[in-house]
A = this chain, B = another copy of it.
Amino acid sequence: MRTQENFSNIQLKINDKVFTKDPCSSDLGKKIIQHSIKLIDELGFESFTFAKLADDIQCTEAAIYRYFDNKYRLLTYHLTWYWTWLEYRITLATANIESPEQRLKIVLHLLTSPLEQEPGIPQVDEAALYRIVIAESQKVYLTKHVDEENKKGLFLSYKRLCKKAAGIVSEISPDYRFPTALISTVVESSYDQRYFARHLPSLTEIPVDQEDGITEYLTELVFKAINNSPKHKTP
């Protein structure tokens, strides 16, 4: 994490089962992405509708249905984008670092910290997207259609992410029995704890304003769980 990377013109490859028509392929599609981040963040996913989005963009509701089958797919698109982007940044940040302990520290930091605004990707409001991840991510799989959606591969990006991090855990402690469970616990917990800090503060000791409190709490939890103390400080 030494240099300021340049991500201009980067385009993440998103599983094409998520959309019926690639939103990156047209101006309207891009507007759907931008404005839906804004609206889902403002209204919450329950109150968010394609009618309101169409109104905001000044297009018709049916036009949006050309791109996404329903609002769950649109939400899945945003989360897939987030998880894919996260995996890419993890790959970069851990490249050429020998110590698996150091790599795990970096990964835990990335997994549990808010997205920062990326100058190379001006079309995405990262802060709003991260609030969506925190408040809405569970809603894409906590439905009666999980098993179908899963078969279509809609959650592959999340699984890859967890497997990658779990792999480092196993590198450090080959005998630890629950590496993937531990990582998925940590990721979900980072969202929960951030939400609790803001809305149900009696469920956590970490204050809202303490940016890296959650990362600290969870990093300690992981290293104790796998019986290894962190050996280096984060930069």
Contact = CB atoms under 8 A, between A and B. Distances in A.
Interface of A: 43-44, 46-47, 135-136, 138-139, 141-144, 146-147, 150, 155, 158-159, 162-163, 177-182, 184-185, 188-189, 192-193, 195-196, 199-200, 202-206, 217, 220-221, 224-225, 227
B146 A202 contact: no
Nearest to A160: B202
The prevalent SS among residues of A at the interface is helix
A206 B225 contact: no
Integer count of this chain's copies in the complex:
2
12 contacts: A44-B144, A46-B144, A135-B142, A141-B195, A158-B203, A178-B205, A181-B203, A182-B221, A184-B196, A185-B192, A188-B189, A220-B225
A205 B179 contact: yes
Given A192-B185, A225-B225, A147 B205 contact: no
A143 B47 CA distance: 9
A147 B199 contact: yes
Given A43-B144, A47-B144, A192-B188, A221 B225 contact: yes
Contacts of A43: 144
A147 B200 CA distance: 8
Given A178-B217, A221-B225, A225-B225, A184 B204 contact: yes
B206 A178 contact: yes
Given A181-B217, A225-B221, A225-B224, A143 B46 contact: yes
